[in-house]
Every structure is written in structure tokens, then in C-alpha cells.
Amino acid sequence: AAIEKGGYEHFMLKEIFEQPQTIYDSFRGRLDVEQARLTLSGLDAIQDKLLAARRIIIVACGTSWHAGLLAEYLIEELCRVNVEVEYASEFRYRNPILDENDVIIAVSQSGETADTLVALENAKKKGATVFGIVNVVGSSIARLADAGAYTHAGPEIGVASTKAFTAQLVVLQLFALKLAQLKGTVSPERFTELVKALHAVPEQVEWILNNQLDRIKEVARKYRGARDFLFLGRGYNFPIALEGALKLKEISYIHAEGYPAAEMKHGPIALVDEHLPVVFIATKDPFYEKVVSNMQEIKARKGRLVAVVSEGDKVAETLAEDLLVVPQSDELISPLLAVIPLQLLSYYIGVELQLDVDKPRNLAKSVTVE
């Protein structure tokens, strides 16, 4: 087993550390940076359907649903088409209004999640076109889909998803970019900018893994006894706040909530006291100033602030007790970086608490029954 883990103590840590490679693998062969060319053959296969679609519906569960939520922001911004994100378990029982003008994107690591699978079967019966973003080659969802793109993250053993999630984000970014190009809703300059930003990600993840570990371990030690955690972010980083909270719950059994940073005033702020760690994603993007003012609101109520910030940040530094630094990137790409310290934070808190991080209690890697 030690050999399988490649010298790492757990599969989860190994898989977190594989991300510079798996992120690269998910765009390798699809992205030509020099020529600013992007190939996603699965998308070509349903191109006419996509261009005619009134809306795109993303269906998924768990961590894959978080990737889908981020894709809603991305696709709407870049492609100017309506996107809805649905929990498969809700969607399948709602008798959703669908016809041959709808395109469904299914996001699934295993390709075997029962609710997602049945939701897709129902959608296909109503004439909708299904595009699968799946990790496991030849899985049920991959076979059911009319077209798709594999995430190429390799086998994921840790029950809590890490490298499969970042690979899903990459493929969804490629999908959004490609569709935007086809629709003519992105300028060639912006396209090139985004392609370059994506191409830089593997090295930037490597930088986080090389430079932030000690700090993350320190924060994990400091807060391992917390009863609750709050994770807050806005815009493209709201789904990352949700994912940060989910990871912590799964691995450490500490109660955590992810919330849109401004929406916390409508409830979660009542939980804030000198014991509550509040993790902000406060990277440099158009939401930054707003996030900083949300941080001030938490600080005024004596919450313990931890912030994921961009390299060189000077403002958040004066507010947060602990900073987890990520390299600067484009706002559309930067969530790929922001999630890495959050994965590591959950991992190290789980390890501090001596829990079975690779196989948390009650969870299954793939939920094949409803």
C-alpha cells in the first residue's frame, strides 16, 4: 500500500500533489498556446445543438456540483447563454421541462452516480442532448452521453474529491472558451489571455505546494479544535467557498458552511464570535474590495479571520490573522488555485485529529444507490 501511495502518507495527499500533472493532463493535446487554438472534439460533435440551445443545464452531485456551479458563472460570462445548475437528485424527481432544444452537461468523477445517471436517462427520453464531463473512462454516464470530454485525472482513490475536481474545472473552462469562440462572444485578445492563464496553472499550483505547506499546517493545528467553520467567497470563488466547507466536513467532521460572502449578513453572521474561524477567499479580482469590506464586518465581531489571498496582497494582510497565499491569475482561472490551500487545510486538520482521511466515516466514493 505504501508503494501505491507513492511515498505519501495518504492517497488524498498524493492526489493533491498530483494536481500540477493532472491539471496539465486535462488540457494537454487540447490547448495550443502558441496558436491560441483549442480542440475539444466532443464539443464539435454536438456543435449545432449547442449553438441553437436556449439554455444549458448542468446536472451533478457533491463536489462535481460545485464544479458545475462555477461553470454557470463561466459559461454565462463568456458565452452569453443561460445556464442552470441542478442537483441531480432534485432534478430527476421534478418532471423538468425539457425538449430537444436543451443541452445537459453532466459532471461526474465516477460516471456511476445513480441520481445523475437517472436524471440523464430521463432528459434523453425528452429529447435533450447530453454532454458528459466524466473521469472514469467507459463508465455508465460516459456511455450514456451523446458526446463528452474526459477529465483525464487518473484514478482517484481518496473518497473526498480533489484532483478530479480541478480537472473538471479545467474541462469546463475549455468548454466555455470553445463555445464562446464558436459563438463569437469572446474577443481573440481575451481568448488568448485566458488560454495563457490556464496554461500557467500547473506551475502556479506547484508553487503553492512548495511554498505554503508550513503555513497551512500551522493554521490546521491552530483551528483543529474548532466546532464550526465558515467559508466565504463571492463571484467565481463562491463555489470554491462551498467546496472548502464540504472538504472540511468530509475529512474532519467539523461543521462548516460555505456562503456567498455578502449573504452571510442574512444569517451566518449570528454565529460569529471569538471562537469562529472564518475563511475568506480574497484573491485579487473584481470582487476584492467587496470581499475586504465583508472581512471588516467579521473582524468587527471578533471572528478569527483566515484569508486566501493573491501574492503581494497588502490590505487583507492587515485584517486576517492567517494568510494562505496563491499566485495571481485571471479572475476566471484563479478559483483553480484558490481551492488548493483549502484542500490542504482540510487534509491537515483531518490528520491532526487522527481521522481516516482517505475513507471518512459514512461516505462512499461513488453513490450508486439513491
Residues of this chain that interact with ligand G6P (CB under 6 A) are 61-64, 108-110, 113, 116, 159-161, 363, 365-367
> If phi over 0 gives left and psi between -120 and 50 gives alpha, with beta otherwise, what is residue 11?
alpha
134/325 with CB nearer ligand G6P:
134
DSSP for 301-316 reads: TT-EEEEEEETT--SH
**Distance between CA atoms of 57 and 55, rounded to whole angstroms?**
7
Q: In whole angstroms, how close is the CB of 51 to ligand G6P at the nearest point?
A: 27
Whole-number Å distance between alpha carbons of 288 and 282? 6
Helix (H) or strand (E) holding 202: helix 188-211
- Nearest residue relative to ligand G6P (C-beta): 62
Nearer to ligand G6P (CB atom), residue 61 or residue 208:
61
Asked if 353 contacts 252 with a C-beta cutoff of 8 angstroms, the reply is yes
Return d(Cα 210, Cα 19) in angstroms, integer.
13
CB of 356: closest distance to ligand G6P in angstroms?
14
Query: Could you tell me the smallest distance in angstroms from the CB atom of residue 199 to ligand G6P?
Result: 26
* Count of C-beta atoms within a 10 Å radius of residue 119: 28
DSSP SS3 for 300: helix
Q: How far is the CB of 44 from ligand G6P (least distance, A)?
A: 25
365 is catalytic: yes
Choose between 196 and 365: whose C-beta lies nearer to ligand G6P. 365
- Cβ proximity to ligand G6P, 158 vs 277, nearer residue: 158
Q: Which residues have C-beta within 8 Å of that of residue 221, sequence separation ≥ 6?
A: 348, 352
CA 90 – CA 80 distance, rounded (Å): 26
Q: Shortest Cβ distance from residue 140 to ligand G6P (Å)?
A: 10
Catalytic-role residue among 49, 299, 359, 365:
365
Q: What are phi and psi of 51, to 5 degrees?
A: -70, -30
- By C-beta, is 11 or 280 nearer to ligand G6P? 11
Residue 132 cell numbers, joined: 458528459
Catalytic residues: 365
